[in-house]
Amino acid sequence: MRLADAARRRALMAEQQQELLMNTDKAFLVIDMQQEEGFPLHGFDRVIHNNARLLDASRHAGTPIIYTRHINAADGSDLPPGEPLDSAGRPASYRAGTRQVEIIERLAPRPGDRVIDKPRYSAFHRTELDQQLRALGVRRLIVTGVLTDACVLATVLDAFALGYRVDLIADACTSTTEAAHNAALLIMANWVYALELFSTDQYLNALSGEPHQSCRSSEPDQFAHRPEQFVATIARLQSALGLPRQEQE
């Protein structure tokens, strides 16, 4: 009986060690899921819900979690040219020291999670993100957040340039319109060769070792289209991800 118990303990330890090894090369990067209310975001409640599901699964799997916060200096001293200002000459959004820069409460970081503040769209620009990822041994990023056509796009392009593979969860990202969101997805699907696109449901299936759908780059400009083909091309991408077809705004 004792021998059987010892064997079970060894098997459990081996399984736990294997699970740990499987997750040491990944990190979950949550981009700018903050309380900023300066502009409406398409389907944001659904995106928050999907991020919450992914965070729960990532924590259960032992995947390191890194949040970014976009923060502008309160006095506007470090803004890029043309950044919108309020009537007092301060940054119109993401102003340091305000509630708007904090992570949404439902997705709030927990002990052990990392938070990186950034002054520009890309999470790699003038931050220690790359150094922290390399110190963790990370080679693949799971990416969610906002805005798909700004900070998410800039971060994914930089991640690719720096040699990372990227799992982008399409319905855990959004922008001000669904069309802008989908246009950015097509750009990344066309040109980021180390990218794999998932829906939340399909990524959770993959994480559980179940059958799943995803979209990987198969050739340059794989979703090339003419303007009048935009809606049909988005439908192709949604079908590849196992997402229901939606009318474009």
Please give the positions annotated as active site: 32
State how far the Cα of 223 lies from the Cα of 240, in Å rounded to an integer: 12
Residue 86 is predicted with a pLDDT of: 86
Residue 215 is predicted with a pLDDT of: 96
Whether 104 and 33 have beta carbons less than 8 Å apart is answered as: yes
Q: Stretch 90-112: mean pLDDT, rounded?
A: 91
Q: Stretch 210-223: mean pLDDT, rounded?
A: 93
CATH architecture of 25-241: 3-Layer(aba) Sandwich (3.40)
Q: Stretch 20-24: mean pLDDT, rounded?
A: 51
Say yes or no to pLDDT of 103 above 80: yes
Residue 209 is predicted with a pLDDT of: 93
Bigger pLDDT: 65 vs 246: 65
Domain ranges of the chain: 25-241
pTM, 2 dp: 0.87
Say yes or no to pLDDT of 14 above 70: no
**Cα angle at 161 between 156 and 166, to 5 degrees?**
40
Q: What confidence tier does 16 reach under pLDDT thresholds 50, 70, 90?
A: very low
Provide the CA 203 distance to its chain's centre, in angstroms: 12
Say yes or no to pLDDT of 138 above 80: yes
Q: What confidence tier does 8 reach under pLDDT thresholds 50, 70, 90?
A: low
Backbone φ and ψ for 216, nearest 5 degrees, come out as -110, 160
